[in-house]
Amino acid sequence: MPPNVRELIVAGPLANVSIAYRNKSYIGDRVFPVIPNVSPKAKIARYQKGAWFRDEAVIRGPGSRAGRGGYPVDYLSISTVEYAFAKEVTDEDRRFSGNPAMGEPPLKPDQDAIEFCSEKIDLKKERIIASKILTTTWSGVSGGEDAGGLWAAGSGNTFLADVRARVETIRSNTGLKPNVLMMDFGTYNSLKEEATVLDKIKYTERGVLTKELLAAILELDEVIIGEAIYSTAKEKKDGTDFTASNIWEKNAGKGAGFLFHRPSAPGLKTPSAGYQARVNYENGQPRRTTTWRENAEHQDVYEVAEECDIVVTGADLGFLWVDTLLT
């Protein structure tokens, strides 16, 4: 429902205050890197790993030819779709906003509309990437490995041993070490109180666990925390609908963790647990913002769109744990 700007007019010290709730920590682009400017029907080449690990070089004698071989390649098809969302801005929205001296709310209707639509695209992509991670069979473990709540702070914590064991699982299966760990906020918050982890950093400057210190302990490039939420409630006319759900959990309130390999630079021939293949628009921009006038309604409409496909490209390059915090 569009806001009724007339009803938002306030007076006094509140006239220069407006409040908006939104996610500040989307991580999807850091989990599945973006391959920009691809064809809508491109293919990602996947070199079958067996050929690359066979020891086949031989001694070449004088006048003889070197041993030869090859490598099979399969292709993962990309089928991009456009995600879009639009928001109207009425003439009344503009007329009765932006002048606190007149008791009008400090809104910027046109800018707010574009940001609102952009947020919808970001949220959609975040949920799709999280769903791909939480439903894919990674490293042959269907449904993910049940951590039994043993990443929570307390006796019997298995966090360090679990991660180190699965680093070896991925390395021994692919020849590539995983270099990033993603976990939900609740699990990370509990690990900050875990004695076996804190013992590793007790001689650091502050002795307080950070994502950077945790990555160093595990010899990873990065630890990423999934904090984003979404609402499962249906829209109400008065706007009071809200039921929070954590995006980066398989089972509500129980936590999750995902260890994976992410390339330093994405590419069509570069191994990665997953990719976002994105089609650029006519002006080379990754997103398109368009606007048009609806004269009968005395309003303008703003639309934000992004065309992409989100794909798992290396199920052997990741490992999923579920129920890390509670069982």
Residue 7 confidence (pLDDT)? 43
Residue 14 confidence (pLDDT)? 38
Chosen CATH of 25-60+67-322 out of 1.20.5.440, 1.10.760.10, 3.90.1690.10, 3.40.50.300: 3.90.1690.10
Note every long-range contact of 207-214, with CB atoms under 8 Å and residues 24 or more positions apart, other chains counting.
214/181
- How confident is the prediction for the chain on average, in pLDDT? 89
The reported pTM is 0.86
**268, containing H or E segment:** none
Residue 1 confidence (pLDDT)? 53
Q: Residue ranges of the domains in the chain?
A: 25-60+67-322
As a whole number, mean pLDDT of residues 106-130 equals 92
Torsion over CA: 6, 11, 17, 23 (sign): negative
Residue 22 confidence (pLDDT)? 59
As a whole number, mean pLDDT of residues 120-130 equals 97
Of the two residues 202 and 31, the one the predictor is more confident about is 31
As a whole number, mean pLDDT of residues 222-243 equals 93
As a whole number, mean pLDDT of residues 185-214 equals 91
Phi and psi angles of residue 202, each rounded to the nearest 5 degrees, phi first = -65, -20
Residue 21 confidence (pLDDT)? 57
Cα–Cα distances in angstroms (integers) from residue 38 to residues 77, 93, 234, 290, 309, in the given order: 12, 39, 36, 22, 10
Residue 11 confidence (pLDDT)? 40
Residue 71 confidence (pLDDT)? 87
Out of 41-50, 112-121, 236-245, least confident range: 41-50
Q: What single DSSP character describes residue 192?
A: T
User: Residue written as tokens 């945790």?
Assistant: 214
Strand-strand pairing, 299-312 and 81-90: antiparallel
Residue 101 confidence (pLDDT)? 62
The letter for the amino acid at 57 is A
